[in-house]
Structures are given as structure tokens and as C-alpha cells.
Structure 1
């Protein structure tokens, strides 16, 4: 059963491509907005064009994974994302860019729920927290790190090379698409839908762990929808940070601390990188902590709810004056750790409704969350612009975005705590 770690490595790579695809436009945001004549509201809509179809595709991909396994669902999805990213690089208008982002969103949905369903078959409960933390933390961190740090550097290289066939952000996007396609092929070679012995290690577990509950019972369980609300609130906050933090940091460096345009862009990417570092290190640590606490009777949902409480405080501090780059970097790191506790819900879903329902149950939970995240990303630019119009301060527009994040974290923490109490009162049968 050591091959489960190879499967986990493949899942890390697959999830990295999902994050790279969803945030690819942020690394080139300055150049894309200038090329396609987009304001911040239009950039928010461009981001949301990915997340609406991404949200609606969660349940279908989850059910398909429960039926046929995750190997081909995940690998074919990654290859499809690569092809559509190459087509996104050909966009000449906002409408074309939005259209390609919609397609990318549908296929990129293969990189979350199917992975969680696959890992539920390979890892038993004492390891599920850390397994979900590793794939989510390391995979998401690799993808976000490339989007925040590597893509701006590649973009600058292409912009300064007039001898290339596509000397702009488009050429850099094509390079990224080729790399993602290669990872999709590698995933097909590495992944297996389940251990050869049958349905996986969890098949030896009692109760819903092996057999799964009836679909109607699952959909009538209030805990499913409370976790959906928790996911919704957490993902609202999660969508705001990668979408706006690098731009906010770049504007802060340029307007408040006197950096030049390119230096500010690079520094903004570094702040995004600190957030990613918290994401990478925090998720496995929190997952391992949850595995240990589960043995002492502390369910995973309680740990996840505490993460949103800490994140709420971090958003509140972002909305205020930032005294120094060090303070901004520290906040980014703190939020990166605390905000990424929600993959614990992946393990909690498999443990409550069974391995055979892991994909579908998490699909419903994640669909609610992703729809809320898409709406928030669509509106975040308008919220920010309304704050800026009142104060005249170009940085004030970001305050509204951070207040929205803090409020969503408060709602999610409350939903998570209520779900935790219900799990205690009604443990899995």
C-alpha cells in the first residue's frame, strides 16, 4: 500500500494545475487589462467566469468519480484545461476571454472533488487529514506560487523580447498551457482509481465508511448544508485573497512606499508568495493536527471553524493602515495558514457519508461554496470601487474587499461551529 504516496504525489500535481489555471490571469493582470482595456470590475468578472461553471460542475464530476474512479476523470480534465488555456491566449476581446474561461472552469473542476474522492479510497481516517492537507497545501501552493511569482517573470521576459512570435502575455500563457498538458499525461501514468484489492483501505471500515448512506438521507442531513454554508463563506474569503492581494500589495508598494511599476509588481508577487507559503505549510500541519485530535474526540469541523475565526481577524487588519512591508507580509502569511483549514471537510465528508458517497457529498458541499465564491468575486470590484469613490483614496477601494472577506469568515465560523455541535449530537451511524 505504499503506492498511496505515489497517488498523493499525482494528486498534488493535478491540483497545482487547477490553481495555476484559475489564477493565471492575475499574474498578467496588468498586461491583460491594458491589452483588453479592462477595469477592476471587468477583472473581477473575468475571474468569476471561471468559478460559475467550476461550481456547477462539482456534483457531476463527483458522481462520475464515485462511479468510474478518479484516474481518467482527473488526467483528462488537466489535459483539457491545457488546451483551453492555449485558446484563452488568442482572446482579443473581453467576451472571448470570458468564453474560454468558462470552458476552463468546467474542466478544472476535475481537480478538487475527484481528488478528494480518490484519496478517500486510498487513505484510512487516521491519515485522511494530512493527505488532504498535503495535496491541497502543496498542490495549491505550487499552483498559486507559479501564478504569483513565476508568471509575472515569464510575462516580463516575453514583453522584452520583440523577436519572439508572440512577444506579450499570450506567449507566456501558451508556455504555461504546454507545461500543464505534460502534467496531465503524467497524472494518467501515476494515478490509480483504487488499490487493486477492491474499493480501497476504507472498505475495511465499519458503517458508512464502506457502504455509504442512501442519497436521500445524505441530502436530508442538515450537516451537509451547514458544511456547504461553511464552504461558501470560506471560499468567498479564499477567492478575494489570491484575486486581489497581489494587486493591493503592488499598489501599496507603488503609492505608499514609492516603488516603481515593475518593482512594485514584483514585490506584490512576493507578498502573494508569503500567503502561498502559509498555504503550503499550514494545510498539512493543520491536517496532521486534526488527525491527532480526532483520536481524542475532537471532530475536524471544529478545527476548520477556528481557522475562519483567525482569518476574520486577519482580514480586519488588512482593511486598516499597514505600517510596513514586514507587517503586510506577516498578515499574508497568517491568513495563508488559517484560511486553508477547510480541506478538513473533505475528510469529514467521507467519514460521515461513506467512501462511496465521498465524491458526491463533497460535490454538493463544494458547489454551494463555489457559487458563493463566484458571486463574491464578481461583486468585489464594484464593492471596492464604491469605497474608493467615497474617499478619493486609490487604496480605499481595497478596504471594502477586505471587509467583505472578514464578514464571510464570521458567517462561515458560525456555520462550522453549529455543524460541529450537530456532528457531536449525531455521529455517523
Structure 2
């Protein structure tokens, strides 16, 4: 990332950068809430729209298809239009699509709207990181990025804490209406409060990077596969855990939501802490990623053997550590494997590939559970992703001079 443009601090109060971070984080949090709403709402949508259990995952897949597409191009779009405009327009469009989905009575229209929500929500990641690179000094960006990345976990917490109660009180559509309206409101605040910063004016003059070497970068491709396996487990659990606990173990929907809230809450602390520990102790990144992915896969297998609410609540935080601790490390590893001139393109491309795990797993787990009727079999299918990812990570070669304690 480049240094803060000198004009930024001279014309704006230093405290303003925290306003920028807060609005970026709020926008990213709400699109994460929008994404996570499907998990606790899916069973109710199934009953309302008559969607077969095995087909429920297709709705989540529709969302993630749009999300992957916008992740792949999000960095280019942010550089072209500016992060302020991207946050405002994409947030408003995603919120309106959420509201429309909450009133949908058609399976086909619902699938299209889920894809639209994902398409508009997927650019927040690049826009937020762009703003952090402009408004924060290099020594501050670790903290800023750590705070920003808690949005994905907090989104899962909020959705699972609120949606079951909203469904019980007034139906599944209300949750989509409420969260959609809040998303639109935050998008408007971004338009009013966020500034791109003076560095944005120079973005259009940069030459298009040559990304062809990235396609031949063995280690970057392996990192893409490892991260794919990790997200297979993480978002497979987020998408299917509520329904599997309700349908497979007879857990009350509100209690199932509580399990996922505990699971995701742990990540709010884990994400910044694990990166800080690895940096300070000089542990490197490759081995910790492999260990965390293997740990995640094993705990998923254990979770699949449980059949009581008490044990689900006990294991949930242990599962949350594995599900989220690897992600800041895989993100940090990306620029270590490529030339600095194409680090942004590498991050965008690899993140889009990682998200394919989110696209495929929702549609894959439903048929496994429908065919076997087995809670354990469904979680074994989820565990396969991070376990394979752990093995792949061991073959990544990180340059020795890139791994140093700060």
C-alpha cells in the first residue's frame, strides 16, 4: 500500500480517518449481515415458498455467484469510480435487493434477487481497504484492517442473534426488510460522510498491471486452493448449521441461532490477535495456516458427532477459532508471494477464487444431508475442505526474506 497522500492530513482533522474507517466498517458489516441472514432464515423460507430442503443451498449459491463476480472486479471498480461512490451505490442497491427479496413469493425471482444482493455487496471489501490505504499511515493500517475485517464475523453474529426472533414475531420477510433498510441508510451516510482523499485523483493515471505472471505463480495458485478449502468449511457452516441442527438434531431455531452467534463472536477477537501474535513472535504464516486449517477440519468432524444443545454450545467457540483464525493469515500471505507491482491484482484474484468455496458448498451439502439423513455425514463433507487445504498449504513456498517479525 502507498503512503498517505500529504494533502489528506493538511486539509482534514487527523481524527477524520476514524470516521472513514467507521463508515467503511459499517457498510461492510451490513453487507455481511445481509449475507448471513439466509442461514437462520432458510428453513422458514423453505416452508413459505415450498423450496425442497436439498435445493435450499442454491439460494446461497446464487448470492455467492454474484459476490465472487464483484470481488474479482471490485478493486478495478474502486480505483475507477472512487471508494466513496462505490460504497454508496453498491450499499443502496444491495439494500433495495434485500427489501425486494423479503417480499418475494417466487423461487425464480428470489434466486435472481439473492444474486443481485451478492453482486452489489461484494465490492465493499476492496473499497474499504482502498480507503484504509489512503487515510491511515503505514504503522496504523494493521489495526485499521483488523477492525475492518471483524465486519464479516459481526455480520454473522447480528443475523443469528436477531433473525430467529424476527421470524417468530412477524415472519421471515421482516428480517430482510429491516436489514435492507439499514443497509440503504448506511449507504447514504457513506455518500455524505466519506471522502476519497487526495490520493484518489492519481489513481486513473496508473498503467494497467500485467497480471499474466500471476496465472503461472505456483505458490499463489496453491494459496488459492488452500483458502478455497478454508472457506468451504467456514461458509458451509454459516449457511447450513442452523438448518442441520434444527432438522438433524431437533434443536429449537432460536437456540440454533445462539450456537452460531457464539461460533462467530469468537472471531471478533481472534482475527486481529492471531495476526499480531504471528508477527510479533516471528512464526511465519505457512505453518500456522496449515495447523489452523487442520484444527478447523477436526473440530468440524467433532461437531458432527454431537446431538445435544449443551455440547453444541461448548464446542461452538472452539469451532469459531478454527473457522476464522486462518483468514487474516492467508490474506497477509498473498503479497509475499508476488511482485509488489501486482499485489493488488493478486489479492483481488485470489480472494475471488477463495469465495468460490462459498459458492459451491451451499449447493453441495444439501444433497449430502438429503441423501444420508446424517448430521455427521454433512459435517464430514464440510470438514473435507479445510483438511485438504491444510495439506496443500504445506507445499506453499514463502520467500525466507519475506517472513520476519516486525
Deviation digits for residues 314-346 of structure 1 (CA, Å, limit 9, x no counterpart): 111012234x43321232111212221213333
Normalised by the length of structure 1, the TM-score is 0.81
Counterpart in the other structure of 2:392: 415
How has the CA–CA distance of structure 1 residues 342 and 291 changed in structure 2, closer, same or farther, with 3 Å as cutoff?
same
User: Residue 292 of structure 1: CA displacement?
Assistant: 2.2
**Distance across 2 between alignment mates of 1:410 and 1:119:** 33
Shift of 1:106: 0.9
String of CA shifts for 1:243-289, please: whole Å, max 9, x gaps. Answer: 1222233346636xxxxxxxx11111110110111122211222322
CA apart distance, 1:85: 0.9
- Are 2:156 and 1:144 aligned? yes
- Which of 91, 98, 101 matches 2:104? 91
Answering whether residue 234 of structure 2 is matched by residue 238 of structure 1, we say yes
- The alignment covers a number of residue pairs equal to 388
Greater alpha carbon shift after TM alignment, 57-66 vs 178-187: 57-66
Q: Is the 8 A contact 1:65 1:359 kept in 2?
A: no
Contact 1:54–1:108 (Cα < 8 Å) also in 2: yes
1:131 is matched with which residue: 144, 155, 158? Answer: 144
Contact 1:250 1:267 in 2 (8 A): no
Of residues 291, 316, 326, the one that matches 2:310 is 326
Rounded Cα–Cα distance in structure 1 between residues aligned with 2:392 and 2:354:
12
Deviates more, 1:360-369 or 1:69-78: 69-78
Q: Does 2:224 correspond to 1:228?
A: yes
1:108 CA displacement: 1.1
Q: Would the alpha carbon gap of residues 74 and 302 (structure 1) be closer, same or farther in structure 2, given more than 3 Å must change?
A: farther
Work out whether residues 219 and 337 of structure 2, in 8 Å CA contact, stay in contact via their aligned partners in 1. Answer: no
Give per-residue Cα distances to partners, 1:92-118, cap 9 Å, x unaligned.
121111011111111111122333344
Task: Give ranges in structure 1 of 5+ residues lacking alignment.
Answer: 159-167, 201-209, 256-263, 389-395
- Taking a change above 3 Å as real, the CA distance of residues 83 and 329 of structure 1, as seen in their structure-2 partners, is same
Q: CA deviation at 1:140?
A: 1.8
SS in 2 for 1:38: coil
Distance in 2 separating the partners of 1:172 and 1:311: 30
- Find the counterpart in structure 2 of residue 258 from structure 1: none
Alpha carbons of structure 1 residues 378 and 125: separation in structure 2 relative to 1, 3 Å: farther
CA-atom RMSD, angstroms?
Answer: 3.0
Contact 1:49 1:101 in 2 (8 A): yes
Relative distance call for 1:60 and 1:344 in structure 2 (3 A) is same
- Hey, what does 2:8 align to over in structure 1? none
One of 158, 167, 175 as aligned partner of 1:155 = 167
Q: TM-score with structure 2 length normalisation?
A: 0.85
Give the superposition deviation at 1:350.
4.5
Distance of aligned partners of 1:212 and 1:355 in 2 relative to their CA distance in 1, 3 Å threshold: farther
1:115 equivalenced with 2:128 (yes/no): yes
Report the equivalent of 1:299.
Answer: 284
- Structure 2 gap ranges (5+): 1-13
- The structure-2 alpha-carbon separation of the partners of 1:70 and 1:413, relative to structure 1 and needing over 3 Å to count, comes to farther
Q: Relative to 1, partners in 2 of residues 1:272 and 1:231: Cα closer, same or farther, differing over 3 Å?
A: same
